[in-house]
Structure 1
Amino acid sequence: MSFLQQPGAFRWRDCGVSLAVANISALLGYGPDANSLRVAFDFTIQRINEQTVLSHSTTHHVAPPLKTRSGAPEAKSEENWRLLQVSKRMTLDSLHTAMRCPSGIATFQDSLAFVGIMFCFIHILCLAKRETQIDPELSMSLCLLFGPDEIEWALVAGYLNRLAQLRPVTDHLVQCAQQGLWLKKPEEGEPLPEDFSVRGLVWAYFAFCPGWFDSDEDEDLLRNVETSRTHEARADRPLYYGLRLAFETPYLSYDAITVTFSTGSGMTTSSTTPTLQLLRTDTADLQAQHFTANPNAQYSSPSAPASSASDRDYVHVKRPAKRVQTAPSPKT
């Protein structure tokens, strides 16, 4: 962690994404189902899936009961708790160090992939904090392990303001963030190289719209070749999640007139806190149609529930089959 003293010397471009994913994996305890953060994410994913179906239904019916989560949050043995606290400190220190990066264009470009991944994680962390309020034990376990209140939001706002000076905050960005829409439709955009590093991870369950990885392009090409469009899309990610955090949480605020981010008016959630939104996707509409047509049917998510993933900290996402175009038969 010597780079914390010299953030400008750290190779954010080459190592930033790996650092973010490794830190978050350590917070999740590398997979046990009873990890407090993992239990909170499983709980949140299931509640949101059920709320999405219920909100789209045109008939009034009793929502299916929540499945009992697999065990209580893990016991805080001294050794295990010490390791989790070290992981939290490394995660926060890495994030805050990136927020303090010099304002040079090159430095910002190098840090964007790391920051985009971390802001995605922070967004679902805020979502989990809100959803677990109905379960005091789980909410307390989450906050003890890693709560949004421990983030230095003034640094986050400062980073976003410096980025906004280099990359304009467009009306499209603001509209997508306000409405919970993904930045691009699958046919209009391509995954960033770092997207493949978090595909299928439980905390990235809501990160992408359906079909985001269904591309005719070769996956190796998308993973390794960057263009000017890649750099522009990467700069939009932190701004997008910054706007969503500003619109949906009490931790950040955004002034559209001055195009300025600032810390929120309150650092704790309340009954007046705006509801965190999920990506509005075609999948949600399909789920709603299925449930409306069969109000007594038990809804099951199209992807495996996080609590049943065989690799524990993954939700398995099947790699899309590549489309093979066959040449027409020659005329005789």
Structure 2
Amino acid sequence: MSIKSLKQPELRAISQEQLVTEVKGIYASLVMVESKCIEVDNAQNAETDPANKLINHEQWQALIALHCTLLHEHHDFFLASQHPSASPALRRLAAKYAMPARMWRHGIHSFLELLRHRLPGSLEHMLTFIYLAYSMMALLYETVPAFEETWIECLGDLSRYRMAIEEVNLRDREIWTGISRDWYSKASDKSPTTGRLYHHLAILSRANAVQQLYYYAKSLCVAIPFDSARDSIMTLFDPVLGPDSSRHSRLHHIDLAFVQTYGVMFSGKSQDKLGYYMENFLKRLDDHIQVSGYQWREPGYYIAIANCCAIIGWGNEKNPVYRAIKAKGSVSDESRDQTMTGTEGAEPDLQLVTALRLANKIHDVVFRRQKDLNVVPYLHATLAFVYHLVSLPETMVHFAPEFPWRLVSYQLNLVLRDYSAFERFESNQFPRPKNEEVPRPLPEDFAMRGLLWVEKYFPSDWFSEDKIIDDEKYFESASLFDERITRALHLGYRIATVGEGRWLQYDATTHRFDVNQQYKLESEREPQDEGA
């Protein structure tokens, strides 16, 4: 029996002129539908008469069909303008006319807001439209990679809408919260200096107050801060600063005290209670670390980063440490020396003084926990910040005098006891793992990524592996913890060398850390050994 081969259908290449004509036709149709969507949405949102606000089932279906038509027009426009044979000029049209933003604003967001304001009557229709829009965005994510970052954030936004309207099935709500968090995390990996994405992650972290505070703080301390977070963060602080907050708060006692302390520092409210809140947190901290064990590693670096954000005033232009960090690279060392000289007698602002006092008191508790390796992530995140500041003498005027340098030297010498590969950290180069082709960042590396003070700390390819999923980011093997120790030692070494021994010192002969004589206070209490 002979088998006849079938000929492939002939594929004719589309000419540039045909492609241009196609794009023009799609765009003209798109603009017509877009204008109709804007007109309808504006008319419905402007309606003030309750009787006229009612929309029946058929009208909702018509509105959904109209907005879906606009989404399909956009889809066709993107496929045509980003066609493999399209010219560079044709490919640039989508960005030139802000097509992704227009698609989200007029095709999805304005209609979602209309649906949201008509809840609960519009719930069924809102669910239908969210699923349709989500499918379209997922399709664009797969087929139009040129705007991948936009599609990822839109998918996160749609998931958050779906999560927000789920009030009956808590399991579904948790699922959509997780989906939204995954998309925003992916978006922040693509754009680590965009504060808006960390603000979104903060909103999704309400079950973890320490993590939520970290995300809010980070959203204000990256190169592209999200200033609206200054208002949003008060939804975390206001409930815990009011009367009877301790009785009604869902937070664990130590988390409540931590958030209350930061709430006073950030908002300026209830200043008379700051000392009480701070003491309440500090007196519980040591026992909490002991009981938590390895589970304190993650909140440890969250707290360390939150301390750093507070020290720079959460991106406040009036904060001298923040101003110096922002100006780094734009002024010469000579100019910085002059700035330092002129600042020595100046009184730092109250917020900076308070932030430094809190951070140093936390350091004093954490760094006294000898033999407890669970505090090393906190040490690592703190030293990354200090390493950046030592190259800015004007910041050290404020920072250095009260920082517990001696306790840091104890911690570093402690982890040096069983360490022998000294050449790994005694270098000016970042200590990359041996025999590892693909970089494997530490969990706190991901947490610090994008912050203003780590820009020069990590190698340019350190986060190049984009296939690490969120769950894997926070998995720690024994070898990964060894890398963390190497990293902390490297930072200690660099602080000693860049600072020329003015604060921390290192002896390459004995392989021991020490501090400048002025920080060897006779009254300083020696830390006691603690169980791991």
User: Does 2:319 align with 1:35?
Assistant: yes
Q: TM-score, normalised by structure 2?
A: 0.38
The answer to whether structure 1 residue 122 and structure 2 residue 390 are counterparts is: no
More helix by share: 2
Note if contact 1:120-1:241 (Cα within 8 Å) is conserved in structure 2.
Answer: yes
Task: Find the residue that maps to 1:214 and give its secondary structure.
Answer: coil
DSSP-derived class of the 1:253 partner: strand
Report if the CA contact (8 A) 1:121-1:203 is conserved.
Answer: yes
Change (3 A) 1:262 1:244: same
The alignment yields a C-alpha RMSD, in angstroms, of 3.1
The answer (yes or no) to whether the contact 2:363–2:404 under 8 Å persists in 1 is no
Residues 210 and 148 of structure 1, relative CA distance in 2, 3 Å threshold:
same
Give 1:1-332 correspondences, 5 Å limit.
Answer: 1=278, 2=280, 4-5=282-283, 7-10=286-289, 11=292, 12-47=296-331, 81-103=349-371, 107-108=372-373, 110-129=374-393, 139=394, 142=395, 146-174=398-426, 176=427, 180-184=428-432, 187-249=437-499, 250=501, 251-264=503-516
Deviation, 1:171, is 1.5
Q: Distance in 2 between matches of 1:263 and 1:81?
A: 28
Report deviation, 1:255: 2.1
Deviation at 1:3, TM superposition (A): 5.5
Distance 1:187 1:266, change over 3 A: farther
The CA distance in 1 between the partners of 2:509 and 2:471, in whole Å, is 40
One-letter amino acid matched to 1:158: Y
User: What is the CA deviation profile of residues 249-283 of structure 1, one whole-angstrom value per residue up to 9, with x for unaligned ones?
Assistant: 2212222332211113577xxxxxxxxxxxxxxxx
User: 1:213, CA displacement in angstroms?
Assistant: 0.5
Distance in 2 separating the partners of 1:226 and 1:4: 28
Corresponding pairs, count:
224
Contact 2:312–2:319 (8 Å) recurs in 1 = yes
1:143 deviation in Å? Answer: 5.1
The aligned amino acid for 1:42 is K
Change over 3 Å in CA distance of 1:149–1:82 after alignment to 2: closer
Task: Return the alpha-carbon distance in structure 2 between the equivalents of residues 220 and 42 of structure 1.
Answer: 30
Distance 1:244 1:161 in 2: 15
Quick one: distance in 2 between partners of 1:162 and 1:243?
14
Partner of 1:190: helix, strand, or coil? coil
**Greater mean alpha carbon deviation, residues 115-124 or residues 255-264:** 255-264
> Whole-Å Cα distance in 2 between the matches of residues 158 and 266 of structure 1?
16
Which stretch of the first structure deviates more once superposed, 114-123 or 254-263? Answer: 254-263
- Is the Cα contact below 8 Å between 1:116 and 1:234 reproduced in 2? yes
Which has the larger displacement, 1-10 or 220-229? 1-10
1:210 shift after superposition = 0.3
DSSP-derived class of the 2:360 partner: helix
Q: Tell me how far 1:121 sits from its aligned partner.
A: 0.5
Shift of 1:189: 2.9
Bigger CA drift: 219-228 or 37-46?
A: 219-228
Corresponding letter in the other structure for 2:481: H
Distance 1:169 1:243 in 2: 14
Structure of higher RCO (CA pairs closer than 8 Å, 6+ residues apart): 1
Q: 1:188 to 1:203 in 2, by over 3 A?
A: same
Check conservation: 1:245, 1:252, Cα contact below 8 A: yes
Gaps of 5+ in 1: 52-64, 67-72, 130-138, 268-332
For residues 41 and 89 of structure 1, the distance between their equivalents in structure 2, rounded to whole angstroms, comes to 20
Alignment partners' CA distance in 2, 1:8 and 1:163: 22
Deviation at 1:169, TM superposition (A): 4.8
Give runs of ≥4 in structure 1 deviating > 6 Å.
Answer: none
Distance, in Å, in 1 between the alignment partners of 2:403 and 2:420 is: 25
| Partner SS, residue 261 of structure 1 | strand
Residues in 1 aligned to 2:452 and 2:439: alpha-carbon distance in whole angstroms: 23
Separation (CA, whole Å) in 2 of partners of 1:170 and 1:259: 8
Residue 118 of structure 1 and its aligned partner are, at CA, apart by: 0.4
SS in 2 for 1:254: strand
Give the whole-Å Cα distance in 1 for the aligned partners of 2:380 and 2:482: 13
TM superposition shift of 1:160: 1.0
SS at match of 1:194: helix
Distance in 2 between residues matched to 1:93 and 1:190, nearest whole Å: 32
Cα–Cα, structure 1 residues 18 and 112, in superposed 2: closer, same or farther, change >3 Å? Answer: same
Is the CA contact 2:356–2:399 (under 8 Å) kept in the aligned structure 1?
no
Contact 1:8–1:101 (8 Å) recurs in 2: no
Q: Alpha carbons of 1:258 and 1:126: their partners in 2 closer, same or farther (altered >3 Å)? A: same
Amino acid at match of 2:458: F
Counterpart of 2:245?
none
Q: Distance in 2 between matches of 1:121 and 1:19?
A: 13
What is the rounded CA distance, in whole Å, between the counterparts of 2:287 and 2:482 in structure 1? 22
- 1:148 Cα offset (Å): 1.9
Aligned-partner Cα distance in 2 for 1:241–1:143:
16
Once the two structures are TM-superposed, the CA of residue 234 in structure 1 deviates from its matched residue by 1.2
Q: Secondary structure at the match of 2:330?
A: helix
TM-score (norm 1): 0.60
For 1:115 and 1:94, the matched residues in 2 are separated by 11
